[in-house]
Structure 1
Amino acid sequence: MEKNTLYHYRAYATNSEGTSYGSDMTFTTNATLAVLTTNEISEITDSSALSGGVITDDGGVNITAKGLCWSVNPNPTLDDNFTEDGSGVEDFTSQITGLEPNTQYYVRSYAVSEEGISYGNELIFTSEPALASLTTKEVTEIGQISAISGMNITANGGAEITSQGICWSTSSNPTIEDTMVAIGSGLGEFEITMQDLLPNTQYFVRAFATNEAGTAYGQEISFTTLEVSTIYDGDVVLLTQQEVDDFGSNNFLEITGSLTIGDNTGIISDITNLDVLSSLETLGNYLAIYNNDQLESLNGLSGITSIGGDLLVGMNDLFTEIDGLSNITTIGGALEIYSNDLLQNIQGISNVTSLGGGAIIRRNEALISLEGFPDLTEINGNITIQENAITDLIGLQNLRSVVGDFSISNEVMLQDLAAIQNLESVQGYFGITGTAIAEINGFNSLTSVSGQLRIAQNSQITSIQGFSILATSGGVQITNNDLLVSISGFDLLTKITGDLSLNINGSLSTISALNGLTIVEGNISFSSNSFADIGFLNNLTLVDGNVFIANSSTLISLSGLEILEQIGGSLTISNTQIDSILDGLAGLITVGGSISIKDNTDLLSVGFVNLANVLGDIQISNNTSLNDYCELQAFLVNGGLGGTFNATGNAYNPTAQNIIDGNCSN
């Protein structure tokens, strides 16, 4: 029988007469719920799937609605998610949408009739994982070779993220096949620095995240790195090779401040190579290269042409040359090359045409030549040549003027000064000390030494001759030259504005110099020499300072001082062999300090016949032959002594009053 169908029925009986029927009766069969099946799930993605249903029995009534329903829980109903796929008993196909990635779902077909809702068989499936959801962060801190970006991951797509970061390229739509940096894990925001970029270059960057569904990318952002500045503004100190390499990678052409390579506090650097600095051309301030015991060459500095301040090269153990500096033409400050133990030449600075300050070349134990020293006629500062291994001064042959001190000292191999014979003026101290020079012969172009001229401790020197046109000197000191026998020259020198000292020259016996000298504004000191008189000062009239003549066993006469009238300081005559003062200081009128005459064993008389004023004391002692003071009687009677008179230890020791009273000799 059909469901929900009206049926008629009658009773009947059959006999030989035929069949008879009872009254017509009716009834209707009941309707039932529809019967249906759920189609297999297909086309599964991270957010959708395909299924459907087949209604095999409508239950005897019309099907008014049909479709699929699904849930993350078993036995889904129309209270969950569902589709509506029409009415009737036809088979249907339905799209399941709005799924969460990588999630298990339960699905059933359904049919609705007046009898109610019937469901097909339940099926189970799992949606596919999805790509992660993320955005690319804006690019910040854009520099010449770096910038910062990052990502914000808001969903993992239902699967573990195995890699995440940013990727960039100079082409659009970069992928992880381009340059990339992976960092961190999980959801949230991350920042990443892009490094080793090219200056002034457009880049494209995207965030990425990879899970089992694949690699997802954030939106693309483009940016352009900054142009390379060719100028570094400030000072640069490079203490390690890494710092050298990092700074050199910027390819600067100019540093507005100073450049220090190494450390001048005594810390030894590990720098071995300066090649990455080859782009440098100009320094606004000094260049200092200190304490590099692994650095053999300065070749990386060959691009530098100008230094605004000093050039300092010191305590670099492996330098044998400094040729890497050969393109420098201008040094705004001073030049100092010191304590480079293996340095043999300084040819690397031979192209310098302008030096704003002085020059110090000292304590370079292997330096045998100054060839290559800047070919300059004038040095605007001090020159110091000290404790090297040079034998001559070739390299300074064009030097005419030193606007400062000029010191040559402790050059024990130096034997020849010929290279500086063109020198015309020194506006400071000029010293030649501690050399192996056998003679000084020349300097006949030198007109002025504003400071002291000092020739001292030269163990081999036997003669000094020359300085024939020297007209100005701040002092002359010739001392501690053991083999020095003679001095001649200094013909035009009429005034010394400082001291005149001839001391501890044990062999000095002949002086035919300084004959034109009239004034010494400082002190005069003659001690421990071998000359017999002072005839070379026969034109001297004034000494503003002290006069000290002592410890000269060969000095038998003060002749030469006959026209000396005034001594501004004190007069000391001690331990000589003179027998009379009369033949030398007879013209002396005024002594601004004291007079001390002592330990002159041959002295017989005091010969100050014209002495008028002594502002200090007169001390005469231990002159064992002295017994005549009569030349002082007029001086004492006239009250010319400002201090006291004292005579002790002599052959005769009168008081001032004795002399005044005429008891002046014995």
Structure 2
Amino acid sequence: MNRILPFKLTAAIIFFTFFSCSKDSDGPIIAEVTVTTSDFSKTMDENPTNAQVIGIVSASTNEGSVTFSITEQTPSGAYTIDAISGELKVADETLFDFETNPTITGIIKVANGTVSENALVTVTLNDLVEDNIYEGDVILKSQQEVDDFGANNYTQINGFLIIGKRENEGYSDITDLTALQSTKIINGIFQIKNNAVLATTNGLNLDFILGLFEISNNSSLESVIGLNNITSLSSLSIVANNSLTDLSGLSQIVEIQHILGIGFCPEIINLDWANNIISVEAIGISNCHALTNIDGLSNLTNINLGYNHISISENNSLQNLNGLQNLNDTLIFLEIRSNPSLKNINGLANTNYIRNIIINNNDSLENLDGLTSVTSLGQGGLSITYNNTLRNIEGLINLDHVDGYIGITGNENLISLNGLESLSHIEGIGITENTNLIDFCSLINVLTIDPNTNYQTYNNAYNPTKQDIIDGNCSL
């Protein structure tokens, strides 16, 4: 009995221990599956292309792999997701339009079997400047029309644009051009004209004008700004803007392909805004009575072949032509007329061929020294008339050949024709109404070389015949 009890107790302990160990190690312990992900956020430009990659939704799992699927998106069908990699791509490029859908959202399900997590997708679009083209011509005659047209945010006009009214229609009530700030390109002429209360062009934001740019008859206009992106123009006309003083908005212009015309500008005192212009085909400056100098043209090196004209007339305060000294050596037409304060034309000193010169009615001009480089004239010839203080024409000393006619008339203080000694050919010459002119001896050479040269003289202090001059009877 005493032996049996210890045995049973020992057996029971062994059984219990075995059973317990067997129960605790009955197969491996299985861990719970987890999935992690994070929200996706991206800022990108509007107007992508289909299949363009947006980005990748990040995710992980502690066992196996995950799959990706779209639970919802707004707008529907905007993007797709790769089920294995989580890569987002553009599915419908038309939905990636800032004006329609500035933000595109959605929910992505990241799953491993029955375990899943959601990731929020947010795509924010950048608003890009897009081509919004108006086909046709535009005339805006009132502030309301400016505002209504501007509300369309056109970036380009394929036609002309007129701001203001046509001639004989009166004046507009336009005061503000801000509504037109989206317009960058005008593929035609651009006119701002007949606006009585428009004080500034502020609000314009133009990059390109294909045709003539005209600013005319705007009596309250004080400044031209909003055009700083323009470096080249076809032609520029600034006429009859009685209050205009500030043209700094045109200061980036380097080239004017055809004509630069400035006229009836009583408040403009200089052309400093034009300091970057190096090329133009023709220049006309007239009736700018406060203009004292044209130094702002000093970087102008090229008068393009073509029209190739310079006309400077009726500028009451203009004293010289400095600013033209860097021009190339050829002009077709030069007119210096009715500039009562003009004292010299020395700014033309580097020009050696001019087809036609007109120097008329410049009351303070004493000499022609600015023409010393001119060696020949074309068929247009030379007209020097009614310059009341002109005392000599010795600036023509190097003039050798004139295909046209020389006319010297009404220069009441001119005493001699000294300066024409080098002439070897001329079609004809008329010397008339120079009331103090007594010396024609500089014509001996040319009239001796060609006695058939057309010659006319009358109403001078001395009026020798052609033969008198050839014979040396050429002065009193």
TM-score using structure 2 length: 0.67
Q: Report the CA distance shift for 1:273/1:372 in structure 2 as closer, same or farther (over 3 A).
A: same
1:289 corresponds, among 192, 209, 212, to 192
> Which amino acid in 2 is paired with 1:407?
S
User: What does 1:517-532 align with in structure 2 at a 5 Å threshold?
Assistant: 517-532=423-438
- Map of 1:494 onto structure 2: 400
Asked which structure has the greater RCO (Cα within 8 Å, sep 6+), the reply is 2
For residues 359 and 292 of structure 1, do their structure 2 counterparts lie closer, same or farther at Cα, with a shift above 3 Å needed?
A: same
SS of residue in 2 equivalent to 1:497: strand
Does structure 2 retain, via aligned residues, the 8 Å contact 1:200–1:228? no
Equivalent residue runs for 1:17-96 within 5 Å = none
Consecutive unaligned residues of structure 2, counting only runs of 5 or more, are: 1-73, 77-97, 103-128
Equivalent position to 2:441, from 535, 551, 556:
535
Note if contact 2:397-2:419 (Cα within 8 Å) is conserved in structure 1.
yes
Counterpart Cα distance in 1 of 2:143 and 2:463? 72
1:375 aligns with 2:276: yes
2:351 is aligned, of 442, 446, 462, to 446
Q: Does 1:317 align with 2:255?
A: no
The one-letter code sitting in structure 1 at the alignment partner of 2:239 is: Y
Contact 2:416 2:439 in 1 (8 A): no
1:412 and 2:316 correspond: yes
Residues 127-186 of structure 1, C-alpha deviations (whole Å, 9 max, x = no match)? xxxxxxxxxxxxxxxxxxxxxxxxxxxxxxxxxxxxxxxxxxx999xxxxxxxxxxxxxx
Secondary structure of the residue aligned to 2:274 is coil
Aligned residues of 1:564 and 1:585 also touching (Cα < 8 A)? no
**In 2, Cα distance between the equivalents of 1:322 and 1:580?**
58
Question: Does the aligned pair in 2 maintain the 1:439–1:464 contact within 8 Å?
Answer: yes
Q: Which has the larger radius of gyration?
A: 1
Deviation at 1:579, TM superposition (A): 7.2
Q: How far apart are the structure 1 equivalents of 2:422 and 2:264? A: 40
Match of 1:251?
153
**How far apart are 1:256 and its partner, in Å?**
1.6
1:478 alignment partner AA:
I
Q: Is the 8 A contact 2:431 2:458 kept in 1?
A: no
Question: Quick one: which amino acid aligns to residue 319 of structure 2?
Answer: Q
Aligned to 2:418: 512
Q: Which amino acid aligns with 2:328?
A: E
Give the one of 238, 242, 248 matched to 2:144: 242
**CA displacement 1:329-371 (0-9 Å, x = unmatched):** 221x211000000011322211112212111100011111111
Residue 237 of structure 2: aligned partner: 336
2-structure distance, mates of 1:231, 1:482:
58
Q: 1:488 deviation in Å?
A: 1.3
Q: How does 1:593-612 map to 2 (within 5 A)?
A: none
Alignment deviations for residues 421-443 of structure 1 (CA, whole Å, 9 cap, x no partner): 22334532211111111233352
Q: Distance in 2 between matches of 1:423 and 1:347?
A: 23
Q: 2:369 aligns with which of 451, 461, 465?
A: 465
2:469 alignment partner, one of 579, 584, 588: 584
> In structure 2, what is the equivalent of residue 306 of structure 1?
208
In the alignment, which of 391, 413, 430 is matched to residue 292 of structure 2? 391
Could you say if the C-alpha distance between residues 579 and 317 of structure 1 is closer, same or farther in structure 2, counting changes exceeding 3 Å? closer
Match of 2:41 in 1: none
TM superposition shift of 1:580: 7.1
1: distance between equivalents of 2:434 and 2:192?
46
Cα distance, 1:229–1:484 mapped onto 2, change above 3 Å: closer
How many angstroms apart in 2 are the aligned matches of 1:572 and 1:509?
14
CA contact (8 A) 1:442 1:465 kept: no
Listed as ranges, the matches of 1:357-368 within 5 Å are 357-368=258-269
Q: Which amino acid aligns with 2:139?
A: V
Letter in 1 for 2:351: L
Q: Identify the residue that residue 126 of structure 2 maps to in structure 1.
A: none
Q: Distance in 2 between matches of 1:429 and 1:383?
A: 10
Q: Secondary structure at the match of 1:299?
A: coil
Give SS of 1:273's match. coil
1:308 CA displacement: 0.5
Matches of 1:581 and 1:429 in 2, distance apart? 30
* Letter of the structure 2 residue corresponding to residue 359 of structure 1: L
The letter for the 1-side match of 2:408 is L
Q: 1:34 corresponds to which residue?
A: none
1:498 CA drift (Å): 2.2
Whole-angstrom CA distance in 1 between matches of 2:466 and 2:155: 75
In structure 2, the CA distance between the partners of 1:530 and 1:378, relative to structure 1 (3 Å rule), is: farther
The whole-number CA distance in structure 1 between the counterparts of 2:407 and 2:150 is 56
| Residue aligned with 1:538, SS | helix
Q: What root-mean-square deviation, in Å, do the aligned CA atoms of Structure 1 and Structure 2 show?
A: 2.9
1:276 aligns with 2:179: yes
CA 1:502/1:570 → structure 2, altered by over 3 Å: closer, same or farther? closer
* Deviation, structure 1 residue 466: 3.4
Which one is further off, 439-448 or 227-236? Answer: 227-236
Deviation at 1:408, TM superposition (A): 0.5
Q: 1:480 to 1:256 in 2, by over 3 A?
A: same
How far, CA to CA, are the matches of 1:581 and 1:256 in structure 2?
A: 63
TM-score, normalised relative to structure 1: 0.48
Q: Distance in 2 between matches of 1:579 and 1:464?
A: 24
Match of 1:355 in 2: 256
Q: Write the distance in 1 (CA, Å) between the matches of 2:143 and 2:133.
A: 21
Give, as a single letter, the amino acid of the residue that structure 1 aligns with 2:195.
N
Change in Cα spacing, 1:575 to 1:383, as seen in structure 2 (3 Å) is closer
SS at match of 1:477: strand
Tell whether the 8 Å contact from 2:254 to 2:279 is kept in structure 1 after alignment: no
Q: Which residue identity does 2:242 align to in structure 1?
A: D
Give the AA of the match of 1:500.
I
Counterpart in 2 of 1:422? 326
Maintained 8 Å contact 1:262/1:290: yes
Structure 1 residue 199: Cα displacement: 5.9
Partner of 2:383: 477
Are 2:344 and 2:365, in contact at CA under 8 Å, matched by a contact in 1?
yes
Displacement of 1:390 in angstroms is 0.3
What amino acid sits opposite 2:272 in the alignment? E
Q: CA deviation at 1:281?
A: 1.1
Aligned-partner Cα distance in 1 for 2:469–2:455:
16
CA gap 1:295/1:352 in 2 versus in 1, 3 angstroms: same
- Contact persistence 1:424–1:448 (CA under 8 A): no
Matched, 1:566 2:469: no
8 Å contact kept, 2:324–2:347? no
More helix by share: 2
Asked if 1 retains the 8 angstrom alpha-carbon contact of 2:349 and 2:372, the reply is yes
Contact 1:400 1:425 in 2 (8 A): no
- Given that 2:132 and 2:156 are in contact with CA atoms closer than 8 Å, whether structure 1 keeps it comes out as yes
SS at match of 2:382: strand
Maintained 8 Å contact 2:134/2:158: yes
Q: 1:531 to 1:257 in 2, by over 3 A?
A: same
